[in-house]
Amino acid sequence: VREPDLKGRHVVVSAGGTREPLDPVRFLGNRSSGKQGYALARTAAARGARVTLIAANSTLPDPAGVDVVPVGTATHLREAVLKAAADADAVVMAAAVADFRPVTYAAGKIKKKDDQEPEPIALVRNPDILAEISTDRVRPGQVIVGFAAETDDVLANGRAKLKRKGCDLLVVNEVGERKTFGSEENEAVVLGTDGSETAVPYGPKEALAETVWDLVAGRLG
Ligand code: C5P
């Protein structure tokens, strides 16, 4: 059992994957299960934090003692994160947020027409929530953590992303067969703006979560 080193702290974690609706029955989504974000919420609560978990379309049970805010789209997730982050000591953006959403939402189900080619789906960019809260800091000293799933040049892309987003720590995952999406295990490197690189070997998502909180607690002092 660890020290309650997050006692008196409020932490916000986003988890799961956003869904961007096309019509009442269809959406653009992604493979995020929410397991890493839920592991972050559980471990923070165990370390004494007050935890707000912004959960995008996850089917996982609510962790005990955690304030869960269910959301659907990137727009909903943004509103919930901005609200909760206002008095948070740390924000960890583990959710897979859709980069784009359909320009239009059809109020009725889109029908196929016999002798017509399908319409292309026009997309518009979603706001980058991580970059937004990192650039316009609402609280001095707040620690902001992002996630990045990469398939190649993992560390170089991670360093560039850390800089671009403006967050304090970036957890870089290599997307592979047994890891990351839907899996119980993960393997990652946590990059810090101080140049630090903390490697977390392949193992349970809880272990990565504990390392993230170690680094956050260290920065909170
Ligand atoms: O740019 P990329 O999608 O790889 O960045 C991933 C990180 O940025 C994650 O922490 C994710 O939660 C966050 N993100 C966000 N808003 C978006 C897209 C990603 O906050 N629109």
Give, for ligand 1, the residue of 93, 161, 173 to mutate: max count of ligand atoms closer than 8 Å to Cβ.
Answer: 93
Q: How far apart are CA 134 and CA 144, in angstroms?
A: 7
| Positions marked catalytic | 30
Is the confidence at residue 182, as pLDDT, over 90? no
Distance from CA of residue 25 to its chain's centroid? 25
Pull the structure tokens for residue 194. Answer: 């101080």
209 pLDDT band, cuts 50/70/90, is very high
Is the confidence at residue 170, as pLDDT, over 80? yes
ipTM exceeding 0.90? yes
pLDDT for 184 equals 81
161 is in an annotated binding site: yes
- Comparing 48-62, 103-117, 173-187, the range with the smallest average pLDDT is 173-187
Query: Looking up tokens 């789209």, which residue turns up?
Result: 73
For residues 190 and 171, the answer to whether their CB atoms sit within 8 Å is: yes
Domains, the chain: 10-101+122-220 (3.40.50.10300)
Q: Atom 17 (ligand 1): residue with closest C-alpha?
A: 128
Distance 130 CA to ligand 1 centre (A): 6
pLDDT for 151 equals 85
Q: How far apart are CA 83 and CA 79, in angstroms?
A: 6
pLDDT in tens, 44-88: 999 999 999 999 999 999 999 999 999 999 999 999 999 999 999
Exposed e or buried b for every residue in 76-96, given b needs 16+ CB within 10 A?
A: bbbebbbebbeebbbbbbbbb
